[in-house]
Structure 1
Amino acid sequence: MTTPRDLLTVALDVGSSRTIERGDLSLVLAGAEVIDLLDAQALALEGDRIVPGARWMPPDSLLDEAASALVREAPYESVEDWLWRRGRGLADVYVAALEREGQLTRQRHRWIPVDTGRTALADSPARRRAADRWASGEPVLAALAATLGIGEPPAGDAPEIADDSVVTVLAAVNDAVMELEAVRQRRAIEEAAYDNIWRVP
């Protein structure tokens, strides 16, 4: 399993203190991909720029897609730009991959054989590994999940993440999610104002 897959599994298993927006999840999954590619030395960060490393064949098709999508010419791409570009619709891509692999199934109505639109995680080794990683309090997974409102705030000091590049990615993910939420709020205000215009007698 990879960090994005573990994160999605935890999101489906544990849930969140708030409704998880698909856009938020997509941005966080894109950040998780960068962190895994950093760990595999398939890329490095220079400041906030993603510099591709050697071509790498990961054991995961979606990470392979991510590695292939890296901008390979200077001045390269910022982490922020990557999140918005790669993150577009990424949650749906990961959900579809888990469904294809049989790790995520569509629930059917109890008496009528129709799709209810709800999904359920299959009991699989991948799910158990993600649960173990989550239970261990692994700091990167915990930080990504916290951005989505998953999990309880740590009682004491949170485990420190020593890798400055990972910290840079986590900060960019948090900023992007906050920016997307601000856009949603602004649109809601504009729509409410527009509706109020038509209610004036």
Structure 2
Amino acid sequence: MTTARDLMIVALDTPSAPPVAQGELSLALAGAELIDLMDAEAVTLDGQLVVPGLPPADGEGLLREAASSLARQAPYESVEDWLWRRGRGLTAAHLADLESEGLVTRPHTRRLSFRAGPPVPTETSARSRAADRWASREPVLAGLAAAAGIGEQPAEDLVAELADDQVVTVLAAVHDAVMELEAVRQRRGIEDAAFDNVWRAV
């Protein structure tokens, strides 16, 4: 079991207002995968650079996929570049992975019995493990969840509990990437509004 999988289960299991956006969650999942690879000694950080080690001996399919996608020759990829590249579409990939293993189901809605509802984690040991980590406010999982918009504890409080500088580096990069994503959204919103105003004036 991995932090990335636990994060995905927590995201599905925890009501959030507003709902968690796929972009933020994908960036957090990419950070979780990087931390999982560090735990497996498949990567280490040299400052901000992701330096590959030996491929993990075991692990879930997506973790092996993440390891195989590492840049294995210098100049190595930065943590930030990894988050943006690996994070593209990662929420959908992790959801599909959970569904393929029966860890997530889509119950039918009452009003439209032929239409599946939102995905819900099934009662499995994977769900129990993720719930236990979440309930204990385990700093790595909670820090990644906070970056994705899950939970209420400020990220600074969580980072202060961590002693591993490399993990702190990854968490900080995830939070910076999420803030950059929000800034891009706001800028596009302003540009779209300005474009609409031009057409109204014509």
Normalising by the residue count of structure 1, what TM-score does the alignment of the two structures yield? 0.93
Count of equivalent residues: 200
Equivalent residue number for residue 5 of structure 2: 5
C-alpha spacing 1:31/1:105, structure 2 compared with 1 (3 Å): same
What is the Cα deviation at residue 157 of structure 1? 5.1
Match of 1:115?
115
Question: What's the counterpart of residue 183 of structure 1?
Answer: 184
Pair 1:147 & 2:172 matched: no
Q: Report the Cα offset of residue 109 of structure 1.
A: 2.9
- Asked whether the equivalents of residues 48 and 79 of structure 1 are also in contact (C-alpha less than 8 Å), the reply is yes
Q: Percent identity?
A: 61
Three-state SS of the structure 2 residue aligned to 1:107 is coil
Alignment of 1:87-106 (within 5 A): 87-106=87-106
The amino acid that maps onto 1:79 is V
Contact 1:16 1:148 in 2 (8 A): no
Q: Please tell me the root mean square deviation across aligned C-alpha atoms, in Å.
A: 1.7
1:107 and 1:117 in contact (8 A); partners too: yes
What is the aligned partner in structure 2 of residue 192 from structure 1? 193
Is residue 22 of structure 2 the alignment partner of residue 60 of structure 1?
no
Distance 1:58 1:117 in 2: 33
Kindly tell me: are residues 111 and 180 of structure 1, through their superposed partners in 2, closer, same or farther at Cα, counting changes over 3 Å? Answer: closer
More strand by share: 1
Q: Which runs of 5 or more residues in structure 1 are unaligned? A: none
* Over 6 Å off, 4+ runs: none
For the Cα contact (< 8 Å) 1:106–1:115, is it kept in 2? no
Calculate the TM-score normalised by the size of structure 2: 0.93
SS in 1 for 2:106: strand
Contact between 2:109 and 2:117, CA under 8 Å: does it hold in 1?
Answer: no
Following superposition of structure 1 onto structure 2, how do residues 41-80 of structure 1 map, counting pairs within 5 Å?
41-80=41-80
Letter aligned with residue 164 of structure 2 = D
Name which of structure 1's ranges 46-55 and 144-153 shifts more when overlaid on structure 2: 144-153
Q: Which amino acid aligns with 2:129?
A: R
**Paired amino acid for 2:30:** A
